[in-house]
Amino acid sequence: MNPVLLKPEGPVDCQVVIHGYPRFRMGARDVGRYRAEAWPAILKSYQVLEENFELIVVEGAGGAAEVNLRDRDVVNWPIAELADAPVLLVGDIDKGGVFAALVGTLELLPDADRKRIKGFLINKFRGEKALLEPGLRFLEHRTGVPVLGVLPFLHKHGIPQEDSAALENVRMEAPLAPVTIGVVHLPRISNYTDFQPLEDEPDVAVNYLSDPSTATALDVLILPGTKSTAADLTWLRSSGWENFLVRHRRNGGWILGICGGYQMLGHRIVDNHRVESERAETIALGLLPVETIFQHEKITDRVTAKHLASGLQINGYEIHAGRVVSETASQAVFRVIERAGVASDCLEGACSEDNRVIGTSIHGVFDCAAFRRRFIDTVRESKGLEALSREMLADAKTGRRLQLDRLANVLEEHVDMTRIAALAGLTGKDP
């Protein structure tokens, strides 16, 4: 469903990942190679989906009228042409200038692309819709394209954001909750949705922090996943986070590292093959008895594991090129019992002797409500607070389904889904 991923590695270059595997580093002059390798993979993925599903929704990327990139585009109009798909143009009214953006986009499109646009949607509207009506009538009269819906701004919709750019607007909350958690907002942060389930807990405040001077009164500090462990470790040190970690640890605070963050907590990171860095070896933070060795082949597995201290089961996934080697099995955190659908029996993760520094390569550990609650209650008890006696929240997967159902209800209420279903060729069927 996402055959090509571009992982930024610097201001002007990125890693090209195709069907889950890194292919090459791309700079501004490598666009020809990118299209030559990416388009066949995109075509293959589309063909598989077409064979197995009745309806395919294609999400564009970037702007719809990027005139400087049209000849090398592989994610917008070529896909619409391939699928012979009708196109809906969505405008974000919360940013302002939505009418100019929609009209201007149409004006910049060549005739063939413009003819594919069958409707407008306006998203994130706040206020009284009656005040917007004159603008909607103008838009339809000016362009000849119907407005098929105006979606309201949804607060705390519970749907993961597209990428970490959304964290730029997250502000530090006052530490009023019994348990305060800080997630270091690394420049190349990845898989930050690992922590969304924590945000839904009533006794937890989660803050994403770039500046250690704002990280006051934290109970738990989390080092998240990263697209480039060595580069973000360098940033961590230059930004003052290493000194903060030392003080936080000395004062009895909890530290958790996931994937790249776990690798940072070890003794060293070895990258002899220059898989992720130009440095063969990087000295890490030294808070856990592990070291990381990078290899060309990336591990991409779903895993089921048991928490050794509690026996609770978690389901998650691993996606990393670095192999973490532990110096002692006695300080493991989990036992993996299934990997990629095959029975397994191996130890995973590491913790300090007092159990307050924890590392794991498994993403999604907090999706399991029972494990999430146990972790939070353990932190509570370390502060002299009682465990929170309350009904368990649903696992994250169930919670996401409920939020998607809620979003579907909003669409049904505010969008002409019957016309959209007809555009997709689903006339006479329940949209």
Domain CATH code at residue 257: 3.40.50.880
Which pTM was predicted?
A: 0.80
Handedness of CA 419, 420, 421, 427 (dihedral sign): positive
Number of independent structural domains in the chain: 2
* Residue 36, in any domain of the structure: no
288 and 343 share a domain? yes
Reply yes or no on whether 368 is catalytic: no
Return the structure tokens found at 370.
Answer: 């029972």
The whole-angstrom separation of Cα 409 and Cα 405 is 6
326 and 413 share a domain? no
431 and 285 share a domain? no
Give residues with Cβ within 8 angstroms of 196, minimum separation 6.
160, 396
**pLDDT per residue of the chain (431 residues) written in tens, 0 to 9:** 889 988 776 677 788 889 877 788 888 778 788 889 999 999 999 999 999 999 999 998 888 998 888 888 888 999 999 999 999 999 999 989 999 999 999 999 999 999 999 999 999 999 899 999 999 999 999 999 999 999 999 877 777 666 655 565 555 554 579 999 999 999 989 888 899 899 888 899 999 999 999 888 899 999 999 988 999 999 999 999 999 999 999 999 999 999 999 999 999 999 999 888 888 999 999 999 999 999 988 898 999 999 999 999 999 999 999 999 987 778 999 999 999 999 999 999 999 999 999 999 999 999 999 999 999 999 999 999 999 865 555 667 777 888 889 999 999 999 999 999 999 988 765 54
* Residue 105, in any domain of the structure: no
302 and 239 share a domain? yes
Domain that holds residue 252: 178-392
226 and 300 share a domain? yes
185 and 210 share a domain? yes
The whole-angstrom separation of Cα 60 and Cα 73 is 11
413 and 336 share a domain? no
The whole-angstrom separation of Cα 185 and Cα 209 is 5
The whole-angstrom separation of Cα 197 and Cα 396 is 6
* Residue 63, in any domain of the structure: no
* Ramachandran area for residue 379 (φ above 0: left; ψ -120 to 50: alpha; else beta): alpha
* Residue 231, in any domain of the structure: yes
pLDDT on residue 6: 83
* CA 309, chain centre distance (Å): 29
Calculate the alpha carbon distances from 206 to 24, 178, 188, 234 in Å.
Answer: 36, 11, 19, 24
The whole-angstrom separation of Cα 67 and Cα 44 is 27
CB 35 within 8 A of CB 72: yes
* Residue 368, in any domain of the structure: yes
CB 273 within 8 A of CB 294: yes
Reply yes or no on whether 273 is catalytic: no
The whole-angstrom separation of Cα 102 and Cα 90 is 8
What's the farthest any 2 CA atoms get from each other in the chain?
Answer: 71
CB 1 within 8 A of CB 45: yes
237 and 317 share a domain? yes
* Residue 273, in any domain of the structure: yes
388 and 418 share a domain? no
289 and 398 share a domain? no
Number of residues written out for the chain: 431
290 and 352 share a domain? yes
Helix axes 241-250, 229-238, angle to 10 degrees: 80
Instruction: Give the active site residue among 248, 307, 320, 363.
Output: 363
259 and 286 share a domain? yes
HEC secondary structure over the chain: CCCEEEEECCCCCEEEEECCEEEEEECHHHHHHHHHHHHHHHHHHHHHHHHHCCCCCCCCCCCCCCCCCHHHCCCCHHHHHHHCCCEEEEEEHHHCCHHHHHHHHHHHCCHHHHHHEEEEEEEEECCCHHHCHHHHHHHHHHHCCCEEEEEECCCCCCCCCCCHHHHHHCCCCCCCCCEEEEEECCCCEECHHHHHHHHCCCCEEEEEECCHHHCCCCCEEEECEECCHHHHHHHHHHCCHHHHHHHHHHCCCEEEEECHHHHHHCCEEECCCCCCCCCCEEECCCCCCEEEEEEEEEEEEEEEEEECCCCCEEEEEEEEEEEEEECCHHHCCEEEEEECCEEEEEEECEECCCCCEEEECCECHHHCHHHHHHHHHHHHHHCCCCCCCCCCCCCHHHHHHHHHHHHHHHHHHHECHHHHHHHCCCCCCCC
* Residue 240, in any domain of the structure: yes
* Residue 79, in any domain of the structure: no
